[in-house]
Amino acid sequence: MNYKLIIFDFDGTLADSFPYFLRTINTLAETYNFPKINLEDVDRLRGLDARQMMKRAKLPAWKIPLIARSFIQLMARDIAQIQLFDGIAELLKKLANQGVKLAIVSSNSEENIRRVLGPENASLITYYGCGTSLFSKRHKFRRAMTRNRVKPQETLCVGDEVRDIEAAQEAAVDFGAVAWGYTRPDVLEAYPGIALFYTPDDIVKSVLGD
C-alpha cells in the first residue's frame, strides 16, 4: 500500500541508542532508587513491554517523566555517541524524494533528534512531536496527521516498542515494527496486522511499492 505520511519513532528505530541506554541506565538507577539492570538479562528485558518493565523495576508512574528527562539530558551531553542506523539517511531521502511526508514522534527532545539527524536529514521532517508527556503518543500521531493534512488510512507509523503499536491502534493507523530496535522481533510478531521490517529497504518497498 502507498502511504502519504510516515510517522517514525526515534530511539531504536532511526537512532541506535540502545547501547547508550545500557551504559547509562544503572547511573539513573542509583539516582532514582530503582533496581540496577544485570546486563546478562538484557535479552529477556527486550521481551518486556513498558508496563512490565515498570513492574519489574518497582517504579511508580510519577517517576517515569523524571527519569526520562534525566536520560534525555545525559544524551544531550553525550550526543556524539548516538548514530543513525545504517541505511536510515538513505531511507529518509528516498521517501522524501517521492513526495512522502515524514514525521517523528518521540519522547526524546527535538534538539537531540535534530543533532543526531544532522541538518540535511532534519530538514526532511515535516513535523516533530517530541518530549515526555503524560498522554499517549496517539495525540501526537493525530497532530502529525492534522499538520500534514492526511487521513489515518494514508498514514503508517514505524517504531520498535509495544507502546508504539498500542498508540497506532488507538489512532487507527497502520503500524510497521523494525526488527533492529529495543524490543525483540518475536515479541512484536505476536501482534496481528502489523508489518515487520528487517531492513530500511523493507520500509521503502512497503511504502512505495518498489
**Is 176 within 8 Å of 95 (Cβ atoms)?**
no
Q: Which residue has the higher pLDDT, 67 or 6?
A: 6
Q: Using the predicted structure, report yes or no on whether residue 135 has a pLDDT greater than 60.
A: no
Judging by beta carbons within 10 Å of its beta carbon (0-12, 13-18, 19+), is residue 164 exposed, middle or buried? buried
Confidence class of residue 84 from pLDDT cuts 50, 70 and 90?
very high
Angle at which helix 63-77 crosses helix 110-117, to 10 degrees, equals 30
Q: Using the predicted structure, report yes or no on whether residue 148 has a pLDDT greater than 90.
A: yes
Alpha-helical runs (H) found in the chain:
18-32, 42-45, 50-57, 63-77, 88-97, 110-117, 119-122, 138-148, 162-170, 185-189, 200-208
Judging by beta carbons within 10 Å of its beta carbon (0-12, 13-18, 19+), is residue 3 exposed, middle or buried? buried
Confidence class of residue 209 from pLDDT cuts 50, 70 and 90?
confident
- Tens digit of each residue's pLDDT (9 = 90 or more) over 12-57: 999 999 889 888 888 988 998 888 878 777 777 777 766 666 677 6
Which residue bears the cell 545525559? Answer: 74
- Tens digit of each residue's pLDDT (9 = 90 or more) over 37-49: 787 777 777 777 6
- Looking at residue 51, its pLDDT comes to 64
pTM metric for this prediction: 0.92
**Is 6 within 8 Å of 207 (Cβ atoms)?**
yes
Confidence class of residue 136 from pLDDT cuts 50, 70 and 90?
low
- Tens digit of each residue's pLDDT (9 = 90 or more) over 174-203: 999 999 999 999 999 999 889 999 999 999
Strands 5-8 and 155-159: parallel
Say how far apart CA 57 and CA 35 lie, in whole Å. 6
